[in-house]
Amino acid sequence: MDNRFSNLKGQNSGEGGSMMPNGDGSEGDDDDEEEEDGVDEGDGEVEGLIDIQGTPGRMSASAEDEEEAAVDTPDVHGVGMKIQRAEEAYKAYAGFEDKPTKGEVFGWCLYDLCSYFIHTVLIPIVFPLIISQIMSMPQEPAQGWKTSYKGLPCRQKEMQLYEGLTHRSIKVGNMNFSPLEWTSISWVSGIILAAPILATISIHLDNGQHQLIAAAAIAAGALFCLPAGFFRTTRIFPPYIAAIVVANAIGTASHARHFGLMVRGFIGSTIRKNQFPDRRAVGGWLSLYATAAGCLGSAIISAFTYHMLRQSEEFISLWVVSIFSGLKWLVGIVHVFASNRLADNPSSSSNSIPKSDVISIFKYPHAAGSLAGVFLSSFATMCIFTGGVLYLVGQLCIKPVNLLYLWLTYFIFPLFSLPLIQPLQQLIRADAVKMQLLGFLLSTLTSGVGFYYHDKNWHKHHLLFFTAVQGTATGLLHAFGRVLFLDCSPAGKEGTFSVWFSWVRALGTLVGFAFASSGRGNISRSLGVAFCSAIVGIVILIFGNISNFGGAKAAGHVRDDSEKGSPVHGLEDNRPMHMETPREKTEV
């Protein structure tokens, strides 16, 4: 890229040719003829500027010529400025991205740190606990408060907490719901509301004010976390949770789009086949470290939740957790402004782009197929997590401090295991599909062993081991599901495709939570279904003709070494691409 612009500078400083290439990458015939005759218009303008500015006491140009020159180049005062503007226009036209700075990478990872906990801790743990504190104390179970449902000794506070979460104490008409089920209903309303909103903003993420959209969504979502305990009624939680789900979905879509742009900035828009391992390495490195940061953020909120549950005023304490979560999420808005990356087609109006772009994902089978892996991985991991926590609290009745250790192991162990997996990935030359297969295999190990020994009393050291395994599996599936999907997304449509990734991931997480929380004490059902879904995910990735390299090639990120096509993305697209230059507006 730098060589190309160096050549461009040399041509414009030494010759009088046109500064912008034609569609075939060559100079125009008319410019060549003008260069041969020595009457190029660009040279004439430059000479005129030299005569006027270089000789103060001499006015060789008439007032009419000065006015014409001012109209042609209103804000260009030299050849250097012209060349700089030509470089910027060509980079925007060709789809080249600037190499991300350290601050931009840090800001992108920071958003995972500040938002990953929303779908892992805030919605599935904190909000059900707050709702349970609003309702009155449920009746004492048949076995008493100090005995679990498996007949094991238990503390009264832990059993009351479990009964408050699972007892159907919320009455709506002729139906009764538990706080867990009420959370699921609120989550469903958010998923339904998010679908048309994401479809509407998908075009604007690629061609509009994407920074403003992401910042507004994050600010709105953080705002709805603050008054969670202000109105002591369960009816207010569906709009609260729905708004948070929608805001998180928009933020995740913008975050995923930014990931695709950064990978292009590091590697290039279109690379040769032998350069694909570099793209694979960069994408895996970015996504793994961001996921590790997200796990750290979840560990912080889970530990804070445990600490506040030990206070006497549990409702107020959990409200404080919600407020802190909103403020923490708001810090993630830094990533929106850490990069000044413009839209790929900034001069194109969003209204001129067909609305069918949102379903253009089905023209790319690899990208559409990878969504199945995203859904199944989100479903399986949340099903194992929710079902396991409920079983440990209500059936095995483990000590609260041991539950804290399990939460910290689940979220903190990936902080070390995921970065260590990245060198292993490079050593065995595994792509995103193979790394997802590894994550599914680890999930089948955890769910399979748990299903087989569901009637046994699980020992603490066994729990810690499989919790660490499942935490690593969850991190792998999340990180490389994102890598695979963005590798299969064409340049210039990252935003349109990212809304699908965000919505499908949220849908899978919701279904896994709803399924596991509805089966009170039935851990074998949760683990059995999670095991089957992981097996289905493995089958789809192996036999579903989903390929990391094939998807990247179909999306236009990779070309064979023998191909001689233009590196400019969009030339084979049906819709026109507009390019604004300092002197004219050209439609290609």
Instruction: Provide the phi-psi class of 144: left if phi over 0, else alpha when psi is between -120 and 50, else beta.
Output: left
CA-closest candidate to residue 318, choices 225, 223, 408: 225
Based on the number of CB atoms within 10 Å of its own CB, is 542 exposed (0-12), middle (13-18) or buried (19 or more)?
Answer: exposed
Both structure tokens of 250: 């928009």
Cα distance between residue 412 and residue 299, in whole Å: 6
Cα distance between residue 148 and residue 144, in whole Å: 8
Neighbouring residues of 273: CB distance < 8 A, sequence distance ≥ 6: 558, 559, 560, 561
Under 8 Å between Cβ of 543 and 439? no
CA-closest candidate to residue 481, choices 558, 336, 380, 403: 380
Q: Which amino acid is at 581?
A: T
Per-residue pLDDT tens, the chain, 588 aa: give them.
444 434 433 444 444 333 334 444 444 444 444 444 443 444 444 344 334 344 444 444 444 554 454 445 445 455 555 555 555 444 444 445 678 889 999 999 999 999 999 999 999 999 999 999 998 888 888 888 888 888 888 888 889 999 999 999 899 888 999 999 999 999 999 999 999 999 999 888 887 788 899 999 999 999 999 988 888 889 999 999 999 999 999 999 999 999 999 999 898 878 888 889 999 999 999 999 999 999 999 999 999 999 999 888 889 999 999 999 999 999 999 988 877 665 555 444 445 455 556 788 989 999 999 999 999 999 999 999 999 999 999 999 999 999 999 999 999 999 999 999 989 998 999 999 999 999 999 999 999 999 999 888 899 999 999 999 999 999 999 999 999 999 999 988 888 999 999 999 999 999 999 999 998 878 999 999 999 999 999 999 999 889 899 999 998 888 765 555 444 444 444 444 444 443 444 443
Cα distance between residue 272 and residue 11, in whole Å: 28
- CA-CA-CA-CA torsion sign (335, 487, 435, 524): positive
Note the maximum CA span of the chain: 105
CA-closest candidate to residue 357, choices 458, 499, 461: 499
Cα distance between residue 362 and residue 323, in whole Å: 40
147 forms beta bridges with 153
Helix/strand/coil for 307: helix
Q: Which domains does the chain have, with CATH numbers?
A: 2-93 (no CATH), 96-338+357-559 (1.20.1250.20)
